[in-house]
Amino acid sequence: MDLENNLFMIPGPVKIHPRVLRVMSKPAMGHRTPEYRAMIKEMTENLQYLFQSKNEVTLISGSGTAGVDCIITNLIDKNDKGVVVHNGKFGERVFEMVQFYGKGSNVKGEYGKAPDLDALAALVEKEKPKILGVCHNETSTGFTNDAEKIAKIAHDNDALFVLDGITAIGGIDVPCDKWGVDAAIFGSQKCVAAPAGLAGVMVSPEAKKVLHDNKSMYLHLRKHLDKWMKESDTPYTSAIPLFLAMSEALKMLKEETLPARIKRCARLGDACRAAATAAGLELFSAKGFQSNTVTAIKYPAGVADDKFRNILKDKHNVMVAGGQSEMKGKIFRIGHMGICSMTDMCGTWGAIEATFKELGYKYEYGKATQAVVSYM
Amino acid sequence: MDLENNLFMIPGPVKIHPRVLRVMSKPAMGHRTPEYRAMIKEMTENLQYLFQSKNEVTLISGSGTAGVDCIITNLIDKNDKGVVVHNGKFGERVFEMVQFYGKGSNVKGEYGKAPDLDALAALVEKEKPKILGVCHNETSTGFTNDAEKIAKIAHDNDALFVLDGITAIGGIDVPCDKWGVDAAIFGSQKCVAAPAGLAGVMVSPEAKKVLHDNKSMYLHLRKHLDKWMKESDTPYTSAIPLFLAMSEALKMLKEETLPARIKRCARLGDACRAAATAAGLELFSAKGFQSNTVTAIKYPAGVADDKFRNILKDKHNVMVAGGQSEMKGKIFRIGHMGICSMTDMCGTWGAIEATFKELGYKYEYGKATQAVVSYM
């Protein structure tokens, strides 16, 4: 596979625009300088635009998981209760964190299916937890949870609502203030199409009030928020080239506009689902909950995951993802967030069709690509 | 149109690989240094590999036309005869140059049709010219002339054979030594997928012997060849970043191997032609002569060139070329040389199909893309 010239269709890291790549090659910038603070000030506005929120925001130099950790560790102390509703690998990770730091309970949904929100409401009512957490868009299964409903369950029970929006925010409509999201996280390498290595974090005044400040020096959320919002600065040296890249990626998102990007992702999702269906394939996740930023597709009988993805990579220079953990071998996943285009989708399905043909999976070849074209 | 993230399918400049782009951002290199000469030495070997020739080679800092000019002005003095066989815009340019510098005569073929080679043989026999020139691959019409036959006509009449291989060499098989090509030119922005601004030149010992040395200071071909071949150097300051890029592009070509690249272009040509046919379109050039690096396709009735290409550009981020001069509005042209991939071709035809649909040109939508997929 050509690592620098291909169709990069995994659900993150995603393709990075040359404009964004280029700013990372700027000479070293000092982080205690007016230009650094000017960059942060501009990013603050763009991050709030992205979160659809007037709340405090910041960037954590670390992965998306660092962002979730930064929220959970500062909200949940060992005697704090947290409820997590999850139906996939990343929701499980949120639950693990709550258990790790405090007292966790959960509603576990089947992978790819809508979790039982009545059971959730009952559990939250019973537990009266400090937080209710969910992984909004399950990257592992291409499932979008009904975050608005879950937010309501939280508020009805005076719990703070924590949203892991790592592959949602910037690709799916997540109106944080409208829904009353108290803490949200996105990953830099996902819908904003920046390089991996940063987590964007948003915190409501209600959540900020009850942060524990004794849990982590590096992930000291209040310090991060205060330094950022009051001084347009960071408590520690940040990953400066990634900040430059994020700054540019956010500008590009704003140029496209958030509604336009969300609409584009929706159309890519429609096209991807139509292509899968046209090829006689089954989507992994339930209808009505299928994600617009990542599509999980069941392998047809007789098609082996490793062979399929190796041919796609080695012969067609197309990278898609397989399933994780218990999903391994059962599904493949196509990412369609960030700056992914419909021509990318068309080329991807062309390659998938050729690969299915090579592997002997039979259906009316050409129909999948044709389905994509109908969305172009 | 996004100028940095698109499907760039014009017949040159073509898409440049990040590896090639990256070397141009190296700090300034001196051109009278051992590292400069080492780079030239390595390029010499790779250029000879590309030309399939043991002859002398060099790079001219200038466009492909500078390369052709450099050959013609040094071979044709005002009393020298040159015959040119041409059937397109770029062949005409070769003829113009011969007329400009000396005494030109020609066999003019219809655009997109094979020129009358019997008439050519008769003319060359009568004129006994110093050179016989041809534009091998007519970028303007997607036509590949039978250079081997034309070379034979030249040799049968003791004429030097000059081959404008600007969009041929590196994409179509041009075995210079086997055919006895006396001078050949390629453009950096074409089949080798380097940036625009350089012309590669190859000259046989027979041609070198009879070069005029009184015609141009900058395009003094003998000086260029001697300096390059004897000292691994250039007579004047070269376009150094472009040299770095060319050096990397040639390495990439060698890694792929020339036969593999030629085969890849042939397959891209097959796929592009099959797609056009599947969409009910007519190819501009005659069967058996259709180019494997650029395909010219007639517009169907009712499809306006500007509208078609504007939608492709603005809506789908796909760039194809229109017709030039008298071909304007009649054809569009798709380049498929260099590092163009089959997924690029698939996405391009997806966008073309969507555009045709939008413009009301009717056929069985999806069939063109399907045709490309059958070559993937």
B321 in Cβ contact with B295 (< 8 Å) = no
Q: Nearest-CA distance from B368 to chain A in Å?
A: 9
Instruction: Calculate mean pLDDT across residues B266-295.
Output: 98
CB nearest A4 (choices: B7, B17, B374): B17
CB nearest A343 (choices: B25, B351, B372): B351
Reading across the β-sheet that carries B331-335, which strands appear in turn?
A: B294-298, B331-335, B321-322
Return d(Cα B103, Cα B31) in angstroms, integer: 38
Chain A residues whose beta carbon lies within 8 Å of the beta carbon of residue B350: 342-343, 346-347, 350, 369, 372-373, 376
Q: Which pLDDT tens digit goes with each residue over A54-74? A: 999 999 999 999 999 999 999
Q: Is the pLDDT of residue A215 over 90?
A: no
Alpha-carbon torsion (A245, A251, A256, A258), positive or negative = positive
Range B7-13+257-373 classified under CATH 3.90.1150.10? yes
CB nearest B354 (choices: A19, A341, A373): A373
Q: What is residue B20's predicted lDDT score, i.e. its pLDDT?
A: 96
How far is the CA of B345 from the CAs of A185, B172, B194, B285, B305, in angstroms? Answer: 38, 18, 20, 20, 20
Instruction: Calculate mean pLDDT across residues A254-282.
Output: 98
Q: Which pLDDT tens digit goes with each residue over A306-327? A: 999 999 999 999 999 999 999 9
B276 in Cβ contact with B368 (< 8 Å) = yes
A372 in Cβ contact with A345 (< 8 Å) = yes
Mean pLDDT, chain A, integer: 97
Identify which of B9, B375, B11 has the alpha carbon closest to the alpha carbon of residue B189.
B11
Judged by a CB distance cut-off of 8 A, whether residue A4 touches chain B is: yes
pLDDT band of B334, cuts 50, 70, 90: very high
- Domain chopping of chain B, boundaries: 7-13+257-373, 18-256
The b/e string for B280-291 (b: 16+ C-beta within 10 A; e otherwise) is: ebebbbeeebbb
pLDDT band of B145, cuts 50, 70, 90: very high
Judged by a CB distance cut-off of 8 A, whether residue B241 touches chain A is: no
Q: Which residue has the higher pLDDT, B354 or B27?
A: B354
Q: Is the pLDDT of residue A295 over 90?
A: yes
Share of chain A above pLDDT 70, in %: 100
Chain A residues whose beta carbon lies within 8 Å of the beta carbon of residue B374: 354, 365-366
B39 in Cβ contact with B249 (< 8 Å) = no
Q: What is residue B215's predicted lDDT score, i.e. its pLDDT?
A: 87
**Is B119 strand, coil or helix?**
helix
Cβ distance B374 to A367 less than 8 Å, yes or no, reads no
CB nearest B5 (choices: A17, A373, A376): A17
The whole model's pTM is what? 0.92
Q: Is the pLDDT of residue A214 over 90?
A: no
The b/e string for A16-29 (b: 16+ C-beta within 10 A; e otherwise) is: bbebbeebbeeeee
Return d(Cα A329, Cα A300) in angstroms, integer: 11
Chain B residues whose beta carbon lies within 8 Å of the beta carbon of residue A271: none
Q: Nearest-CA distance from A319 to chain B in Å?
A: 12
Q: Which residues pair with A322 in a beta bridge?
A: A332
Chain A residues whose beta carbon lies within 8 Å of the beta carbon of residue B26: none
Return d(Cα A335, Cα A341) in angstroms, integer: 11
Instruction: Calculate mean pLDDT across residues B63-83.
Output: 96
CB nearest A339 (choices: B5, B25, B353): B5
Cβ distance A366 to B373 less than 8 Å, yes or no, reads yes
Identify which of A336, A356, A357 has the alpha carbon closest to the alpha carbon of residue A7.
A336
Q: Which pLDDT tens digit goes with each residue over B113-126? A: 999 999 999 999 99
Chain A residues whose beta carbon lies within 8 Å of the beta carbon of residue B260: none
Range A18-256 classified under CATH 3.40.50.2000? no
Q: What is residue A36's predicted lDDT score, i.e. its pLDDT?
A: 96
Choose from B14, B341, B344, B373 for mutation: most chain A CBs within 10 A.
Answer: B373
Q: Which residues pair with A334 in a beta bridge?
A: A295
Instruction: Calculate mean pLDDT across residues B74-100.
Output: 97
Instruction: Calculate mean pLDDT across residues B92-99.
Output: 97
**Is B277 strand, coil or helix?**
helix
SS3 track for B320-376: CEECCHHHCCCEEEEECCCCCCHHHHHHHHHHHHHHHHHHCCCCCCCHHHHHHHCCC
Q: Is the pLDDT of residue B19 over 90?
A: yes
Q: What is residue B214's predicted lDDT score, i.e. its pLDDT?
A: 87
Instruction: Calculate mean pLDDT across residues B139-144.
Output: 98
Q: Which residue has tokens 């429609």?
A: A270
Mean pLDDT, chain B, integer: 97
Q: Which pLDDT tens digit goes with each residue over B227-245? A: 999 999 999 999 999 999 9
B78 in Cβ contact with B101 (< 8 Å) = yes
Share of chain B above pLDDT 90, in %: 97
Judged by a CB distance cut-off of 8 A, whether residue B267 touches chain A is: no
Angle between helices A240-256 and A258-278 (to 10 degrees): 80
CB nearest A343 (choices: B19, B341, B350): B350
Q: Which pLDDT tens digit goes with each residue over B245-265? A: 999 999 999 999 999 999 999
Residue B186 phi/psi, 5° resolution?
-130, 160
Q: What is residue A174's predicted lDDT score, i.e. its pLDDT?
A: 98
Return d(Cα A226, Cα A276) in angstroms, integer: 47
pLDDT band of B323, cuts 50, 70, 90: very high
Chain A residues whose beta carbon lies within 8 Å of the beta carbon of residue B17: 4-5
Cβ distance A350 to B353 less than 8 Å, yes or no, reads no
Tokens of A221: 């959320």
Q: Nearest-CA distance from A318 to chain B in Å?
A: 8
Window 300-359 of A, Cβ < 8 Å to B: 316-318, 339, 341-344, 346-348, 350-351, 353-354
Q: What is residue A263's predicted lDDT score, i.e. its pLDDT?
A: 98
Share of chain A above pLDDT 90, in %: 97
